[in-house]
Amino acid sequence: MYHSPTAKADDYYLKIKCFCDEKDIHYCEEIQTLPENLLIMTHDIECVSYEKNTFPMPETSPIIQISFIISSVSEILIKGLFVLNTCRSIPGVLLYTFENEKTLLAAFSDFVNIIDPDIISGYNILNFDLYYIFTRGSVLGVKQTQSIGRILDISCYVKNSKITTKVTGTIETKEVSIPGRVTFDVYETIRREFKLKSYSLNSVSYTFLGSQKEDVHYSYMLDLFLKDSDSRKRIATYCLHDSFLTFELIRVLNLIVNQLSISKVTNVPLSIMLVRGQQLKVTMQLMRECNNVKVLIPYMPRKNFNNTDQYEGATVLEPLKGLYSEPICVLDFASLYPSIMIAYNICYSTLMKDRAELAKMDANDYNLAPNNEYYVKPHVKLGVLPAILKKLLDERKKVKSQMKNITDNFKKMILNGIQQALKLSANSVYGYTGSANTGHLPCLALSESVTSYGRQMIQHTKTFVEENEKIQQELNKKPIVVYGDTDSVMINFGFATIQETIDYGNKISLMVSKEFPKPIFLEFEKVFKPFLLLNKKRYAGLQWTSSDKHNKLECKGIETVRRDFCCYVQKTLQAVKFICKMVRDLLNGKFDISDLVVSKTLSKSEYKTLLPQSEVARKMAERDSSTAPHIGERVYYVIVAGPKSTPLYQLAEDPLYVLEHDIPLNIEHYLDALKKAVGRVLEEIDPNCH
């Protein structure tokens, strides 16, 4: 029994042992809303090494501070700190001070049980904070650290783990179990959901929040800790700000609400879903639907597919490269692959492999896919996958419709999370069938049929737009499809104004949509003006969805020194001045080294190869194994000066090491990279540019 410090004298909380195994948790149709009263504890720790310039290790280095924020998904309720030694107070922050680390850890553990959060969150807490707390608890004999779960006689634990997905590859991490509570690592979630150059809290906060942390390097932490209460207040402010930034990422990016929405949609408990890939989510939906229609899923032992077991992917139309000053209309097939699977009833259960059985059927009872696979039509047998997809897309349409009439921000946030979850879930089904070597239930015939229909549709759209006599008569010219990729086409109608292009784009989308069975629908997406088309999957354009004001500059596959470089496309003179300034700054040493840092993921296959990221990882491991990047993590490096004959990978170096040892950078390398990037852009405008 725990007594709350804020409760009345006769108010007590009684813990009752009640739990079930995760495999016994099932989807409940009656629960239609997400919980609004979730209690979240976001935390961060600071620790020190008594050996100068050495990264703290949990076996020997103490925890000196733990910050926490108690909140709902959108509102902070309590802010506080557990601090070793004295510390100057911080307005609006609860401050608990302790004379030794053992009492600090014991008090923090008791605090977790008193507050009783549903979710324990933080940034990189799986690989660092929670692992560190549990290890320090074991070293010091503080048993309470192993008992911060909700089940009285089941201890918390941490163990090494690996997560392998088609998107991220293999990532080495740690699995943390706190029975009865969900462990939500914001770092792992953002790394899985967003493609960023850097996943440090500082970089991620700047990207999404526009603010950064006051970075205190671990080598300075000991001096600050030993000095006085004012310097320990600086550590406390820094520590608490890390928790605050993590909470803000949860709030602004809607992270927990989105993950709860996906959990509800996919029938996967949140605690499992956060550490597993997309395939499990599709499997759980498949199991639920098969159970509803009384269909058994066969056991499929894993096998290795050889290189011949591949299929042709999506169509990418040959781009008509150049700089377009006239508006370019972009039309997009809404949820293309899910719509194809519904329209043509593509499923394991509808695939006809028995040609003798097929010969007995009426020709109106099946579809022949472009890859020569046969599928019975819905009136004969509705496929399980199309049934799942139809429910997902119908539900998403209903949720998006509800959002238009909602004014409450929290409810709108929840609905937006649900519709995003539904979209992601629907798009994952096609990939599930095509995951040959790692899939739960692969069937390449299905995925090949889907992509073959997609290729056929893109090609038919191009032909329809360019060859339709009615369109040519209305325009008094032949429209040109300048590019097409997977589910979208880009068309030059030859109009001078953006509004004319928008209006005609909407008209054409309806005409083309009638060429295909429902629910396949080609919709107007946007207009680019101006538009620079460099090559397949490489273009840039100013995006318009109304003629009043442009939305943003959209760049795809274009290398630039700065992300906003191409904003100067319309202002060539400013662009030239900008590049000249960048070159001068490089030559004169007037640059921030962070602007020259490259980041790449260290994969298992690359670990022993001669690549910059593997070389830097090797160097860092030799210097201090505790700070070296692991497989699946991003490695940050710069290129340092050296003889011209030196291979590039040997010139790669850790930026912090470069700063600490005042190593000169390879300016010629960076100038050459800038020259090549600018040249690739300009040569499409004028092939004679060098």
Specify the pLDDT at position 66.
Answer: 96
Q: What is the pLDDT of residues 401-413, one digit of tens each?
A: 888 888 877 677 7
> Domain holding 598: CATH number?
1.10.132.60
Q: Could you tell me the end-to-end alpha-carbon distance of the chain, in angstroms, rounded to an integer?
A: 77
What is the bridge-based pairing of β-strands 94-98 and 328-333?
unpaired
User: Is residue 576 situated within a structural domain?
Assistant: yes
pLDDT at 119 over 50: yes
Does 529 share its domain with 623? Answer: no
Model-wide pTM > 0.85:
no
User: Is residue 128 situated within a structural domain?
Assistant: yes
Percentage of the chain beyond pLDDT 70 is 84
pLDDT at 342 over 90: yes
Residue 57 phi/psi, 5-degree rounding, is -120, 135
Q: What is the pLDDT of residues 526-551, one digit of tens each?
A: 999 888 888 888 888 888 888 888 87
Specify the pLDDT at position 607.
Answer: 58
CB distance 76 to 69 below 8 Å: yes
∠ CA 23-167-202, nearest 5°, is 100
User: Is residue 212 situated within a structural domain?
Assistant: yes
Specify the pLDDT at position 521.
Answer: 94
- Looking at residues 238-245, what average pLDDT do you find? 93
Specify the pLDDT at position 302.
Answer: 61
CB distance 79 to 250 below 8 Å: no
Does 374 share its domain with 522? Answer: yes
Least confident of 57-71, 168-182, 317-331, 525-539: 168-182
Which runs of E-coded beta strand occur in 113-230? 119-122, 157-165, 169-177, 182-185
> Domain holding 228: CATH number?
3.30.420.10
Q: What is the three-class DSSP state of 181?
A: coil
Q: What is the pLDDT of residues 274-296, one digit of tens each?
A: 777 677 778 888 888 888 888 88
Does 238 share its domain with 313? Answer: no
pLDDT at 33 over 90: no
Does 576 share its domain with 645? Answer: yes
User: Is residue 450 situated within a structural domain?
Assistant: yes
133 pLDDT tier (thresholds 50, 70, 90): very high
pLDDT at 72 over 60: yes
Higher pLDDT, 98 or 153: 98
User: Is residue 583 situated within a structural domain?
Assistant: yes
- Looking at residues 71-91, what average pLDDT do you find? 93
Specify the pLDDT at position 460.
Answer: 92
pLDDT at 304 over 80: no
- Looking at residues 153-167, what average pLDDT do you find? 71
Domain stop point among 220, 253, 286:
253
Higher pLDDT, 68 or 317: 68
Radius of gyration for the alpha carbons in the chain, expressed in angstroms and rounded: 29
pLDDT at 6 over 50: no
CA distance 150 to 19: 9
Higher pLDDT, 360 or 450: 450
2 pLDDT tier (thresholds 50, 70, 90): very low
Q: What is the pLDDT of residues 496-507, one digit of tens each?
A: 899 999 999 999
Specify the pLDDT at position 566.
Answer: 42
User: Is residue 265 situated within a structural domain?
Assistant: no
Q: What is the pLDDT of residues 385-401, one digit of tens each?
A: 999 899 888 888 888 88
Does 549 share its domain with 573? Answer: no
Q: How far is CA 363 from CA 334, 377, 452, in A?
A: 29, 10, 21
Nearest to 277 by CA among 431, 157, 129, 112: 431
CB distance 279 to 430 below 8 Å: no
- Looking at residues 299-318, what average pLDDT do you find? 63
39 pLDDT tier (thresholds 50, 70, 90): very high
Residue 126 phi/psi, 5-degree rounding, is -70, -45
Does 166 share its domain with 59? Answer: yes
- Looking at residues 93-104, what average pLDDT do you find? 94
Does 247 share its domain with 353? Answer: no
Residue 485 phi/psi, 5-degree rounding, is -150, 110
Specify the pLDDT at position 303.
Answer: 59
Does 348 share its domain with 444? Answer: yes
Does 302 share its domain with 247? Answer: no
462 pLDDT tier (thresholds 50, 70, 90): very high
Specify the pLDDT at position 576.
Answer: 67
Does 576 share its domain with 548? Answer: no
Specify the pLDDT at position 570.
Answer: 42
pLDDT at 1 over 50: no
Specify the pLDDT at position 165.
Answer: 57
CA distance 189 to 172: 14
Residue 53 one-letter amino acid: N
CA distance 654 to 639: 9
259 pLDDT tier (thresholds 50, 70, 90): confident
Query: How many domains, the chain?
Result: 3
561 pLDDT tier (thresholds 50, 70, 90): very low
Domain stop point among 238, 253, 268:
253
Specify the pLDDT at position 604.
Answer: 65
User: Is residue 387 situated within a structural domain?
Assistant: yes
DSSP track, 232-287: HHHHHHHHHHHHHHHHHHHHHTTHHHHHHHHHHHHT--HHHHTTS-HHHHHHHHHH
Least confident of 79-83, 308-312, 652-656: 308-312
Q: What mean pLDDT is reported for the chain?
A: 82
Does 584 share its domain with 473? Answer: no
464 pLDDT tier (thresholds 50, 70, 90): very high
> Domain holding 533: CATH number?
3.90.1600.10
pLDDT at 187 over 50: yes
User: Is residue 304 situated within a structural domain?
Assistant: yes
Structural domain span for residue 298:
278-556
Percentage of the chain beyond pLDDT 90 is 29
Q: What is the pLDDT of residues 657-690, one digit of tens each?
A: 888 888 888 888 888 888 887 777 666 665 555 5
Helices 255-266, 186-193: crossing angle, 10 deg rounding: 70
Q: Which residues contact 624 (CB under 8 A, 6 or more apart)?
A: 54, 55
Q: 518: which 2 tokens?
A: 């429902």
pLDDT at 581 over 50: yes
Specify the pLDDT at position 565.
Answer: 43
Specify the pLDDT at position 246.
Answer: 95
Specify the pLDDT at position 123.
Answer: 95
pLDDT at 519 over 80: yes
Domain stop point among 505, 529, 556:
556
Does 187 share its domain with 315? Answer: no
Higher pLDDT, 264 or 301: 264
Q: 197: which 2 tokens?
A: 């150059």
Nearest to 243 by CA among 4, 115, 97, 71: 71
Least confident of 370-374, 468-472, 579-583: 579-583
Higher pLDDT, 261 or 118: 118
pLDDT at 25 over 70: no
CA distance 107 to 102: 9
Distance of CA 188 to the CA centre of its chain: 9
CA distance 343 to 389: 11
